[in-house]
């Protein structure tokens, strides 16, 4: 399907020119005309006040010309002078997709898009962790995230490079930015993906995400529009092994702002709330649920965690009861973790909680109810009262440590 | 000042069950509710009205005729006017088409100074519709609001934004998405219910009324589609171990040892 401009109706008002994400409209003899850069995305349709722009072939589904798009692009989020862990995980996933059997010419190259300021050695780091190419947009006006400027920068990258796929972290920032971009360039966007792969038949991106409170998983595709866009849940993917011998290229792009790009008047960071609980490098996580019965139960858990060098997680039920802070919550609406061992104490195994621990190496449960759903979801369930098992376990571990020392 | 709150009717996902055999949602008997965060957005709008005085609060939804019930609830809670964008042609919309339709409806009921949305809906959890409406309208968006200070001309918002708290301000018209931490929604009062049923009602907007581009709405205007759905497979070995505290704790220690996770000192 392609775009038709009716030159009899066109008044030459130029409104459609900035609406085109691909800079494919120009003025010729006071009339708008399409240039060969037109992808047929249809973004100009709504811009025309006089209905001079229409789709050839009537009013069916808009089918873009997707032939010119290629490459997997990853938006890199930075905070306080460091690359976010989530972005590195997505970069690792992008590398894996590009190296997979289903990858084609269109999906074999990974580009990291790095907007920000004072980016130091980040480009080298991105290459060592899987990028073939890094696009650097270093500008003091990008030091603090703001929707308007970042939307401009990334849509400029998309216009110039025409990515087949572009991925963002499903962080507040990514989820603020990606929809705005998807809407500007009129393509599809899948939120909060927990699985990504390339279809072995046609190479398109299969984007899997939980829906209806995690009760069901859905695989979403965006067949006719480009780029294919997704936000990806932090904690689910794995970053690539660091290889400082990897070879990659870099280029810089400039931030060019137009009149309409100043939407936000003022933005400031008022507080740093980065929560103290960092599950990323935890080998063992011990989680407590409603069966822990109160804050004292978490003290019990704390002693065991100290003996094991483990971190403490919690179910939403325990958090909402006020026994422990929200930063500890694991699951669908909390954090996604992938420790070597997950010990669930007094946790029933709701699907929303377990969604966050799918990637754990091994799961063991301590539960007094042998019919609790968790018994099927854990590798091993120890059936009994946690209030007698946990102190015993803590004592035993501490004793072994002292005899070993 | 005119505030419009977008409200979605959603199935109560707390009540959703899965037919394990067919792998599909059992929707029967699942109550339809006002999306929880939209209730907070409505509350925020009502608070601004109470604070500034000369404010009209309109609620807007896109959905099937039943979604009118949820809008009726919003009227009972104190909204002044309600619109439901309702047309077979709107069905099957993904976030791009939904946002476009809502944005065109907003243009129809313009002028609008402030649009408030929930930050996300519990059925799809996308959090995309708010920012996409803002882009359609070419107005600023501020997401995940935990505090809103509005004046006739501008809005200042504090939001929890991952590892930081931010304060962002913008001139009106603007769009703000609201999280649950912002307030505690009020309850319906008898007076509110009576007023809603006596003086107010839900006005329907069809695709004709809001002059949409037919290529941009419903299934036709949705670039994404669902390829398949399945029930998440979370099952593992499921070994059950019984015994007294000592036996069980030794069992756990064996596993720790086998995984090489037992601290040496
Ligand atoms: C949209 C949505 C999102 C959600 N997101 C999350 C999320 O991110 N994370 C999350 O955790 N939940 C989430 N939930 C809530 C989730 O559905 C469950 O309600 C919650 O996980 C249950 O927590 P629990 O296992 O601690 O409590 P319960 O289900 O009450 O289980 C307590 C368990 O403790 C056991 N027990 C009791 N006493 C003892 C004892 N003395 N010794 C040993 N065992 C004992 C019981 O047998 C029982 O199995 C979400 C829900 C919805 C609808
Ligand atoms: N069909 C709809 N009608 C009205 N508002 C909607 C609709 N879909 C989404 N919204 C609004 O957009 C917010 C985010 O929804 P979502 O992007 O689906 O998570 C919701 O909280 C609503 O305020």
Q: Taking CB atoms and an 8 Å limit, are B139 and A263 in contact across chains?
A: yes
Judge if the beta carbon of residue B39 lies within 6 A of ligand 2: no
Q: Give the distance (Å) from ligand 1 centre to CA of residue A293.
A: 12
A370 burial level (CB within 10 Å; 0-12, 13-18, 19+):
exposed
Please tell me the predicted confidence (pLDDT) of residue B262: 87
> Which listed CATH number (3.40.190.10, 3.40.1410.10, 3.40.50.10710, 3.40.50.1220) goes with A284-404?
3.40.50.1220
Q: What is the pTM of this model?
A: 0.89
In ligand 2, which atom is closest to the CA atom of B35? 21
Tens digits of per-residue pLDDT, A173-187?
Answer: 999 999 999 999 999
Q: How far is CA B49 from CA B53, B153, B193, in A?
A: 5, 14, 19
Interface subset of A 77-106, CB within 8 angstroms of B: 79
DSSP line for A22-77: T--EEEETTEEEE-TT-----TTTTT-TT--EEETTSSS------TT---EEEEPP
Distance CA A342, CA A283 (A): 9
Supply A294's token pair: 């109160």
Q: Which site among A42, A69, A183 would you substitute to test the B interface, given the most B Cβ atoms closer than 10 Å to its Cβ?
A: A183
Please tell me the predicted confidence (pLDDT) of residue B29: 76
Judge if the beta carbon of residue A87 lies within 6 A of ligand 1: no
User: Which H or E run includes B46?
Assistant: helix B36-52
Backbone angles phi, psi at A186, to 5 degrees: 55, 55
A57 touching chain B per CB within 8 A: no
Please tell me the predicted confidence (pLDDT) of residue A405: 67
Q: Taking CB atoms and an 8 Å limit, are A384 and B165 in contact across chains?
A: no
Contacts of A148 in chain B (CB under 8 A): 140
- Which residue of B lies nearest to A148 if distances are taken between CA atoms? B140
Distance CA A364, CA A381 (A): 6
Q: How far is CA A115 from CA A76, A91, A129, A145, in A?
A: 7, 15, 18, 9
Neighbours of B176 (CB within 10 A): 29
Judge if the beta carbon of residue B68 lies within 6 A of ligand 2: no
Strand B141-150 relative to strand B154-161, pairing = antiparallel
Whether A59 shows a pLDDT value over 70: the answer reads no
Please tell me the predicted confidence (pLDDT) of residue A180: 98
Size of interface A-B (CB pairs under 8 A): 294
Tens digits of per-residue pLDDT, A77-130?
Answer: 998 889 999 999 999 999 999 999 999 999 999 999 999 999 989 999 999 999
| ipTM for this model | 0.90
Please tell me the predicted confidence (pLDDT) of residue A91: 98
Distance CA A85, CA A300 (A): 31
Residues of chain B with pLDDT under 70: 20, 22-24, 265
Q: Give the distance (Å) from ligand 1 centre to CA of residue A317.
A: 5
Q: Give the distance (Å) from ligand 2 centre to CA of residue A32.
A: 35
Residue recorded with tokens 């995690």:
A214
Tens digits of per-residue pLDDT, A347-374?
Answer: 999 999 999 998 899 999 999 999 999 9
pLDDT band at residue A274 under the 50/70/90 scheme: low
Domains in chain B, ordered, with CATH? Answer: 2-216 (3.40.50.620)
Q: Average pLDDT of chain A?
A: 92
Supply B41's token pair: 């957005």
Of B224, B246, B253, the CB nearest to A221: B224
Domain boundaries, chain A: 1-62, 72-258, 284-404
* Residue B136 contacts residue B100 (beta carbons within 8 Å): yes
Judge if the beta carbon of residue B127 lies within 6 A of ligand 2: yes
Beta-carbon contacts of A152 under 8 Å, excluding residues fewer than 6 positions away, are: A255, A256, A257, A258, A261
Distance CA B124, CA B130 (A): 13
**CATH architecture of structural domain A72-258:** 3-Layer(aba) Sandwich (3.40)
Whether A58 shows a pLDDT value over 60: the answer reads no
Q: Taking CB atoms and an 8 Å limit, are A343 and B252 in contact across chains?
A: yes
Q: Give the distance (Å) from ligand 2 centre to CA of residue A178.
A: 16
CA distance A67 to chain B (A): 17
Please tell me the predicted confidence (pLDDT) of residue A89: 96
Please tell me the predicted confidence (pLDDT) of residue A49: 84
Distance CA A185, CA A277 (A): 38
Q: Give the distance (Å) from ligand 2 centre to CA of residue B136.
A: 15
CATH 3.30.70.20 applies to domain A1-62: yes
Domains A72-258 and A284-404 share a fold: yes
B249 burial level (CB within 10 Å; 0-12, 13-18, 19+):
buried
Please tell me the predicted confidence (pLDDT) of residue A204: 96
Distance CA B36, CA B42 (A): 10
Tens digits of per-residue pLDDT, B11-25?
Answer: 887 777 777 676 667
Tens digits of per-residue pLDDT, A304-342?
Answer: 999 999 999 999 999 999 999 988 999 988 899 999 999
User: Which H or E run includes B249?
Assistant: helix B245-258
B215 touching chain A per CB within 8 A: yes
Distance CA A116, CA A122 (A): 11
Q: Taking CB atoms and an 8 Å limit, are B224 and A307 in contact across chains?
A: no
Of A173, A218, A388, the CB nearest to B229: A218
Residue with the smallest CA separation from ligand 1 atom 4 is A352
Tens digits of per-residue pLDDT, A204-226?
Answer: 999 999 888 787 889 999 999 99
Of B232, B246, B259, the CB nearest to A351: B232
């Amino acid at each position: 399907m392609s775009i038709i401009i009716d030159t009899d109706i066109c008044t030459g008002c130029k409104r459609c020119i900035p609406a085109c994400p691909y800079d494919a409209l120009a003025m010729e003899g006071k009339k708008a005309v399409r240039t060969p850069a037109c992808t047929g995305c249809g973004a100009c349709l709504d811009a025309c006040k006089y209905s001079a722009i229409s789709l050839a072939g009537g009013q069916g589904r808009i089918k873009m010309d997707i032939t010119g798009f290629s490459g997997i692009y990853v938006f890199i989020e930075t905070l306080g002078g460091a690359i976010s862990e989530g972005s590195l995980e997505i970069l690792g996933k992008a590398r894996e997709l590009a190296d997979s059997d289903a990858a084609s010419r269109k999906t074999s190259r990974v580009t990291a898009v790095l907007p920000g300021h004072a980016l130091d050695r980040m480009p080298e780091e991105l290459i060592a962790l899987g990028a073939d190419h890094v696009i650097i947009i270093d500008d003091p006006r990008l030091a603090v995230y703001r929707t308007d400027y970042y939307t401009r920068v990334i849509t400029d990258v998309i216009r110039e490079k025409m990515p087949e796929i572009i991925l963002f972290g499903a962080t507040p920032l990514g989820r603020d930015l990606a929809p705005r971009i998807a809407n500007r360039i009129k393509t599809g966007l899948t939120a909060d993906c927990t699985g990504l792969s390339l279809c072995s038949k046609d190479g398109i991106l299969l984007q899997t995400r939980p829906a209806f409170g995690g009760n069901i998983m859905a695989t979403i595709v965006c067949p006719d529009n480009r780029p294919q866009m997704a936000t990806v849940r932090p904690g689910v993917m794995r970053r690539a092994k660091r290889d400082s011998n990897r070879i990659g290229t870099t280029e810089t792009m400039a931030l060019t702002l137009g009149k309409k790009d100043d939407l936000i008047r003022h933005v400031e960071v008022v507080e740093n709330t980065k929560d103290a609980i960092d599950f990323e490098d935890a080998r063992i996580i011990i989680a407590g649920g409603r069966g822990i019965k109160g804050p004292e139960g978490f003290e019990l858990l704390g002693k065991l965690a100290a003996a094991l060098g483990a971190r403490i997680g919690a179910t939403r039920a325990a958090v909402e009861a006020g026994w422990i802070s929200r930063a500890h919550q694991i699951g669908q609406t909390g954090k996604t973790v992938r420790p070597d061992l997950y010990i669930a104490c007094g946790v029933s195994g709701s699907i929303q909680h377990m969604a966050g621990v799918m990637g754990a190496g091994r799961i063991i449960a301590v539960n007094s109810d042998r019919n609790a759903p968790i018994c099927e979801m854990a590798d091993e369930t120890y059936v009994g009262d946690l209030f007698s098992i946990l102190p015993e376990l803590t004592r035993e571990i501490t004793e072994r440590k002292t005899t070993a020392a | 000042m005119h505030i419009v709150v977008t409200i979605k009717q959603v199935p109560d996902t707390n009540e959703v069950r899965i037919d394990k055999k067919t792998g599909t949602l059992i929707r029967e008997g699942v109550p339809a509710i006002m999306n929880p965060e939209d209730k907070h957005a409505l509350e925020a709008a009502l608070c601004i009205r109470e604070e500034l005085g000369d404010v009209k609060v309109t609620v807007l939804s896109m959905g099937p005729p039943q979604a009118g019930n949820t809008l009726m609830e919003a009227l009972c809670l104190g909204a002044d006017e309600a619109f439901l964008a309702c047309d077979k042609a709107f069905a099957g919309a993904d976030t791009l088409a939904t946002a476009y339709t809502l944005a065109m409806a907003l243009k129809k009921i313009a002028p609008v100074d402030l649009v408030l949305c929930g930050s996300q809906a519990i059925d799809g959890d996308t959090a995309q519709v708010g920012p996409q409406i803002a882009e359609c309208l070419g107005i600023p968006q501020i997401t995940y609001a935990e505090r809103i200070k509005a004046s006739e001309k501008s809005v200042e918002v504090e939001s929890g934004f991952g590892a930081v708290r931010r304060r962002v301000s913008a001139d009106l018209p603007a769009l703000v998405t609201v999280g649950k931490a912002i307030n505690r929604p009020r309850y319906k009062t008898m007076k509110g219910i009576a007023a809603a049923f006596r003086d107010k009602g839900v006005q329907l907007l069809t695709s004709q009324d809001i002059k949409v581009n037919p290529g941009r709405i419903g299934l036709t205007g949705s670039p994404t589609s669902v390829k398949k759905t399945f029930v998440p497979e979370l099952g593992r070995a499921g070994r059950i171990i019984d015994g007294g505290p000592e036996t069980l704790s030794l069992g756990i220690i064996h596993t720790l040892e086998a995984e090489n996770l037992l601290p040496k000192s």
